[in-house]
Amino acid sequence: MLFLEGWFWAFAAVAVPVYLLCPNALKLYWLLLACVVFHFHFAGPAGMTPIIILAILTYGAALVSWRLGRWSAAGLVIVLIVGSLTFYKYGQFLRDNTLMLSAAIGVRTPWVINAFKAPAAPLGISFFAFEFIHYLYEVRVHGRPAIRNPFHFAVFAIFFPTLAAGPIKRFPDFVPQLVDLRNPSTAQWWAGIRRIIRGLFKKVVISELCVEYIGIFEKIPHRSAPVVIALAVLQGWRIYFDFAGYSDMAIGLAQTLNFSVPENFNRPYWSTSLQEFWRRWHMSLSSWIRDYIYIPLGGNRVRRGVNLLIAMILCGLWHGAAWNFAAWGVYHGLGLAVESGVRRWSPGLFTDSWLQRVVGWAICYPFVTYGWLLFFYPLETVAKMTRALLVW
């Protein structure tokens, strides 16, 4: 998919060298053209149209808010973006659950709900939505200057290395890089190529090996505790190497064009607390959740536990429209809330001594690993697996 397709490599073999050979003054336009071709190829006109509409509205609303001081424009477009994300990504899920609930309580549902069929979600809509919301929020709430150059905004919106699955960019870090486009040094370029190779290795070799072994363990009819533990560990490695591999490719590709985009992973499985895990796992998403959900909800100041729970449920649902993702979010939210309570009442438990770090890791890693069962399997299957874990 995408980075593994022959078309992508043919595209990159043209897009990157031509970008490097382009005079500096033309690089921006070539880059934009390459981004449009990439987006069109993978998303098609139906996938591009909603994104283009949202991008134009975001660009205009930010300018209006910033220049004229009309804050409602940015707020309105944020609501529209959230609405579009809900419609495309959660429409079918909400409809199915409404029908199930109405059948359970014996209420007739309007024909509109019965007939509703959500269209396929545009490629990368979750990432577009989060980047646009971040941009509008920064302009509206923090008073950052809006992007005036439409070409700069367009490249920020559909930058092809990060278009499909992040890392989620921040415009104050990204847009200044567009002002003076230059080629990377030879060392930087090779570093980017090495990063791409490492990413391919993580994805194509390690993650796929994990998938093979998961298939073997899933075929075992009697899922005893050791089988469940093996499945949980392998799923944890699979998602890490898959996603970290993708992120390496995206970051490396950006590096070959002399762009720096946010990191996504920092050895998360070495974390010694859940809080540390979320500072090291999918960092561009977790920092987004912190800045645009957790802190606006009140952060550490009020109802810390509730805020953590809400933020993590939304984080879980962001990964997909299914109850197991919500359960995964609740699980991590509760874990973080409990850890935060323990931190408050016994700060001495979280020091940097090696013993406490070992104990912390021995609690955190199994906690996170069990969570992958919730992430990957339906809730009924997880219930059976949990029973197997409790009865050896």
When asked if residue 96 is in the footprint of another protein (CB under 8 A), the reply is no
State the nearest-atom distance from the C-beta of 320 to another protein, in Å: 5
Of the candidates 62, 3, 68, 88, the residue with the CA atom closest to the CA atom of residue 38? 3
When asked if residue 314 is in the footprint of another protein (CB under 8 A), the reply is no
State the nearest-atom distance from the C-beta of 208 to another protein, in Å: 6
**What is the torsion angle, in degrees rounded to the nearest 10, for the CA atoms of residue 68, residue 69, residue 73 and residue 76?**
180
Q: Judge contact between 109 and 124, C-beta under 8 A.
A: no
Q: Which is nearer to another protein, 177 or 369 (CB)?
A: 369
Catalytic annotation present for 41 = no
Of the candidates 269, 218, 219, the residue with the CA atom closest to the CA atom of residue 239? 269
Q: Which is nearer to another protein, 178 or 233 (CB)?
A: 233
* Cα distances (angstroms) measured from residue 381 to each of 197, 218, 228, 285, 286: 36, 12, 11, 28, 28
* Cα distances (angstroms) measured from residue 53 to each of 40, 60, 379: 15, 11, 37
Q: Judge contact between 344 and 212, C-beta under 8 A.
A: no
Q: Which amino acid is at 156?
A: F
Please give the span between the terminal C-alpha atoms of the chain, in angstroms, as a whole number: 40
* Cα distances (angstroms) measured from residue 80 to each of 49, 60, 370: 15, 14, 36
When asked if residue 6 is in the footprint of another protein (CB under 8 A), the reply is yes
When asked if residue 194 is in the footprint of another protein (CB under 8 A), the reply is yes
Positions 246 through 305 that interact with another protein (CB under 8 A): 246
Q: Which of 41, 134, 319, 332 is catalytic?
A: 319
Burial class (CB in 10 A: 0-12, 13-18, 19+), 382: buried
When asked if residue 91 is in the footprint of another protein (CB under 8 A), the reply is no
Q: Which amino acid is at 308?
A: L
Binding residue (CB under 8 A) for another protein from 132, 156, 237, 243:
243
When asked if residue 211 is in the footprint of another protein (CB under 8 A), the reply is yes
State the nearest-atom distance from the C-beta of 33 to another protein, in Å: 24
When asked if residue 165 is in the footprint of another protein (CB under 8 A), the reply is yes
Q: Please identify, among the stretches 2-10, 136-144, 220-228, 357-365, the one whose residues bind another protein according to the rule CB under 8 A.
A: 2-10
When asked if residue 200 is in the footprint of another protein (CB under 8 A), the reply is yes
- Encoded one letter per residue, x for contact with another protein by CB under 8 A and - for no contact, window 106-145 reads --------------------xx------------------
When asked if residue 239 is in the footprint of another protein (CB under 8 A), the reply is yes
State the nearest-atom distance from the C-beta of 108 to another protein, in Å: 33
Positions marked catalytic:
319
Interface with another protein (CB under 8 A): 1-6, 126-127, 164-165, 194, 197-198, 200-201, 203-205, 208-209, 211, 238-239, 242-243, 246, 318-320
